[in-house]
């Protein structure tokens, strides 16, 4: 199955903007992959942030946004807050009920 | 409120079997595709299996032929039968609803499966 790539780690200053990306080891990510994004604080259940590229899940603040940038899906956090420090995972839908997660990005806010 | 409660995890020897259950409430279970996702500290999140509303199953290559997903709509329960377990199957297994069948919407807390002799 396909390999989904993410940055292993990223840091952002409080109040800053950060863009995390989600790519494919071979090929480009498009809306046809229905990219989705999940936030997970270690020890807690994942929280769905974004689905179908850019639709925010219920209750997710609008400082989280999703898009396609070039050949990758992207999650942008605008005005980062301390409690945004977390692991972020993307997932791509490959069709036929199959999904693949990326390896996750550890975001540090400092 | 959507609630998903997994059970059935535990310690099992390599080559052994376990059956996980996920009891659903707070939504019309039969109307939702469902999935199992596992997580290990070293490998992050990994999609394991999904099952559609009509019962069509799909599984990751890593578990194909060993794991079987099923559902009982009369009991609002999702299952994962795991056979021929290996050490690298050790993980927290969570069930999740599938939104539009293409993303993971609501998540359970998970149940820990440890494969070790």
User: pLDDT tens digits, residue range A13-57?
Assistant: 999 999 999 999 989 999 999 999 999 988 889 999 999 999 999
- Chain B touched by A91 (CB under 8 Å): yes
Indicate whether B42 pLDDT > 80. Answer: no
Residues of A in contact with B3 (CB under 8 A): none
Strand partners, A41: none
User: pLDDT tens digits, residue range B48-72?
Assistant: 999 999 999 999 999 999 999 999 9
Strand A9-12 vs strand A4-6: parallel, antiparallel, or unpaired?
unpaired
Indicate whether A103 pLDDT > 90. Answer: yes
Report percent pLDDT > 90 for chain A. 91
Chain A residue at shortest CA distance from B53: A97
């Amino acid at each position: 199955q396909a390999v989904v790539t993410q940055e292993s780690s990223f840091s952002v200053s409080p109040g800053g903007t950060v863009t995390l990306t989600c790519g494919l080891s071979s090929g480009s990510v498009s809306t046809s992959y229905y990219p989705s994004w999940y936030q997970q604080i270690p020890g807690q259940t994942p929280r769905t942030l974004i689905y179908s590229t850019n639709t925010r899940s219920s209750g997710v603040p609008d400082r989280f946004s999703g898009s396609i940038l070039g050949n990758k899906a992207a999650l942008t956090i605008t005005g980062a807050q301390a409690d945004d420090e977390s692991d972020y995972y993307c997932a791509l839908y490959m069709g036929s009920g199959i999904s693949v997660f990326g390896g996750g990005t550890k975001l540090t806010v400092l | 409120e959507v609630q998903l409660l997994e059970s059935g995890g535990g310690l099992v020897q390599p080559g052994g079997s376990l059956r996980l259950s996920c009891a659903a409430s707070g939504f019309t279970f039969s109307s939702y595709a469902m999935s199992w996702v596992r997580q290990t500290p070293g490998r992050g999140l990994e999609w394991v299996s999904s099952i559609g509303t009509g019962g069509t199953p799909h599984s990751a290559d890593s578990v194909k032929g060993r794991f079987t997903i099923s559902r009982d709509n009369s009991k609002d329960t999702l299952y994962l039968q795991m056979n021929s377990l290996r050490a690298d199957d050790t993980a927290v297994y969570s069930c999740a609803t599938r939104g539009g069948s293409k993303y993971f919407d609501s998540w359970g807390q998970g149940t820990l499966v440890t494969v070790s002799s």
